[in-house]
Amino acid sequence: MQTESPPLAAATATQVARIVVAGHVDHGKSTLIGRLMYDLGLLHQSKIDDVVAASSRRGVAPEWSYVLDSLQEERDQAVTIDTTRIWFTHRQRRYTIIDAPGHRQFLANMLSGASEADAAILVVDAAAGIGEQTLRHAYLLAFLGIRHVIVALNKIDLLDDARVRYGELSAQLRDALRRTPPVAVIPVSASRGDNVAARAATTPWYDGPTIVDALEAVRRVAPPVQRPLRIAVQDVYRRDGARIVAGTVAGGTVASGDPLVLLPADVPVVAHRLVRWPDGDVAGAAAGETIGVVLDGERFAGRGDVLAPPLDRPQVAQRLVLEMFWVDVRGPLQNERLRLKRGTQDVPVVVDGTPSAYDIEEARTLGAAGDAQHNIVTLQVRATSPVVFDRRADDPHGARCVLLRGSRVAAIGFTIDAADASGDGGGPVTLVERERRSGRRAAIVWLTGLSGAGKSTLARAAERELFERGIAVSVVDGDLLRSTLNTDLAFSDEDRAESVRRAAAVAGILAETGHVVIVSLISPFVSDRARARDAARHPFYEVYVNAPLATCEARDPKGLYRRAREGAIRSFTGIDSPYEPPASPDLELRTDTLSVPEAAAELVAFVDGVTAPSR
């Protein structure tokens, strides 16, 4: 894919501007581009002679649209051209002119990222006036988030009352283009060159910019490195005790030591170190790179999360307005379940309300989205968990998203904004809202240890104390799960892995309601506990409830050790099934030396500390 590197690049060019030229062929698009090449002195004299000769043979004034066709065949010009792009340099600035062919192909190119335009020239035939084509192009430019639109009101030389007509048309155009108000409406004659590069004597009443002036005023849309920092989290690894958050820098730059915010959880973090494979530690990274971020402390992060600067953060919402180019055969239905992919996020969504479609051929909005294929659909969706996104108006690049129906791409487009949730009861309550109300961070506190070590006793004692302090807390106890959810499981290694997985899932559901969840489960294997931690979408802390086997066996609160020694129970942890203690737990409680109140107080103090709102 060719985006930024034209085959002809002037070494001295310092700036780039990418301009998309839209408009019906008959409205003079090719003529304007050809004339622009001529006026900027980019054509060889031989080429100019060819155009003049060919035109005079047909008895017409020089036809500048010929230039484009004939340049296609030649490679030694100051202009380089392929089917949809033209590159040239003017006054130290490198221009890419992107021809907008059929609107579907144009949309597909722009949406796939093959092109990103800084500005658009919309060519409108002044004699023909504003037709469907113009409305369609105006809509598409707004859809693509192109904000710098220059209107070339062409064929002004054919009008008797050019001044009056210009006044009328520019008012109508400003109305038609209200979503992206034009920066200039320029009366031009592409064939005569009026107001293309030189101010025309024929339009003394016009004191605005020429096409070339307007092009020079185009500001480049910020390249990815100059956009706000966005790191899309792909995965989280544990290595040598550290948690490494691996992600793609989707925009901006990051340096080690930068304060960041982890979204959607809204947790302040510090990019303690940055690592790149296989180089190891690096000082910084920029857009386009894949990087490992070692966060300070024991932080939870998962695929789909986003790291951003605290003062320039993206939006977070569960209800969103999307504008999508619909590619699937069938349009979206109210209440239909789809999936929204954005960066590394992939979340189930439900279509809210009635989507509406803009019919591109007809250049008008339809009430419903039944005939949505190859049209633009505006819809509102409700996600099952918070979505981190940029608004198209803030950054069209960061706002790109895809809707999937099953595994098929149904639509490609943009996140527009958070939907107003006030209309119908406010939508699902989010974790952020719950945490704001409870004044506590949800967390999973995972107690592991031998049977009889004291997990249940301490979990219940801590639960009581935290509850008394007004903290939303609940306990997920292995014993209870074994008699309810897990009645199909025994104590083989596989069944224990499954029991740990289920307990983690239940804890996750409870934590999502804003609770501090204390899990008490033997969970004897390091690998199962690591999986639980990695699957967790909330801060996760491992607590080792440690008492020597002899102590546990002496306690034998349920007589299970005795039965295990007698051979009545098989695969009993500590007897004929292993227990792997955590190598570096977040907290260790020695219940053989501490009393129940002492151990419980330590656990409460720990939970209190890690769920405090300031963290």
Ligand X SMILES: Nc1ncnc2c1ncn2[C@@H]1O[C@H](COP(=O)(O)OS(=O)(=O)O)[C@@H](OP(=O)(O)O)[C@H]1O
Name the residues annotated as catalytic: 523
Element (H, E) at 151: strand 149-154
Residue 454 near ligand X by CB under 6 A: no
Binding mask 541-560 toward ligand ADP (x if CB under 6 A, else -) reads ----x---------x-x---
Q: What is the C-alpha separation between 62 and 487, in angstroms, rounded?
A: 87
Q: Which does 573 bind (CB under 5 to 8 A by kind): ligand X, ligand ADP, none?
A: ligand X
Closest contact distance (angstroms) between CB of 300 and ligand ADP is: 25
Residue 482 near ligand ADP by CB under 6 A: no
Question: What residues between 473 and 502 interact with ligand X by CB under 6 A?
Answer: 478-479, 482, 491, 496, 499-500
Closest contact distance (angstroms) between CB of 299 and ligand ADP is: 28
415 has which bridge partners? 322
Closest contact distance (angstroms) between CB of 473 and ligand ADP is: 17
Residue 458 near ligand ADP by CB under 6 A: yes
Q: What is the C-alpha separation between 145 and 340, in angstroms, rounded?
A: 20
Nearer to ligand X, 76 or 566 (CB): 566
Please name the residue that has the structure tokens 């007509």.
165
Residue 220 near ligand X by CB under 6 A: no
Question: What residues between 348 and 407 interact with ligand X by CB under 6 A?
Answer: none
Span of 264-272, 454-462, 504-512, 526-534 interacting with ligand ADP by CB under 6 A: 454-462
Q: What is the C-alpha separation between 152 and 189, in angstroms, rounded?
A: 9
Sorted by sequence, the CB contacts under 8 Å of residue 298 that are 6+ apart come out as 243, 539, 540, 541, 586
Q: What is the C-alpha separation between 295 and 269, in angstroms, rounded?
A: 6
Q: What is the C-alpha separation between 292 and 273, in angstroms, rounded?
A: 8
Sorted by sequence, the CB contacts under 8 Å of residue 172 that are 6+ apart come out as 129, 130
Question: What residues between 158 and 187 interact with ligand ADP by CB under 6 A?
Answer: none
- Of residues 224, 228, 332, 452, which one binds ligand X by CB under 6 A? 452
Nearer to ligand X, 52 or 569 (CB): 569
Span of 114-122, 287-295, 312-320, 449-457 interacting with ligand ADP by CB under 6 A: 449-457
The 10 Å Cβ neighbour count of residue 53 is 10
Token code pair at residue 348:
């189930």
- Of residues 270, 418, 569, 601, which one binds ligand X by CB under 6 A? 569
Sorted by sequence, the CB contacts under 8 Å of residue 25 that are 6+ apart come out as none
- Of residues 333, 571, 592, 594, which one binds ligand X by CB under 6 A? 571
Residue 456 near ligand ADP by CB under 6 A: yes
Token code pair at residue 419:
């939907």
Closest contact distance (angstroms) between CB of 593 and ligand ADP is: 8
Annotated binding site for ATP: 449-456
Q: What is the C-alpha separation between 487 and 562, in angstroms, rounded?
A: 23
Phi, psi of 201 (to 5 degrees): -70, -20
Residue 148 near ligand X by CB under 6 A: no
Annotated binding site: 449-456
Question: What residues between 508 and 547 interact with ligand X by CB under 6 A?
Answer: 521-524
Closest contact distance (angstroms) between CB of 502 and ligand ADP is: 18
Question: What residues between 575 and 614 interact with ligand ADP by CB under 6 A?
Answer: 591, 594-596, 599
What is the amino acid identity at position 361? E
Please name the residue that has the structure tokens 């968990």.
385
Residue 558 near ligand X by CB under 6 A: yes
Q: Counting beta carbons within 10 angstroms of the beta carbon of residue 144, is it exposed (0 to 12), middle (13 to 18) or buried (19 or more)?
A: buried
Token code pair at residue 155:
């064929």
Torsion of CA 292, 298, 303, 307, to 10 degrees: -70
Which residues sit at the interface with ligand ADP, rule CB under 6 A? 449, 451-458, 520, 545, 555, 557, 591, 594-596, 599
Which residues sit at the interface with ligand X, rule CB under 6 A? 451-452, 456, 478-479, 482, 491, 496, 499-500, 521-524, 558, 560, 569, 571-573, 577
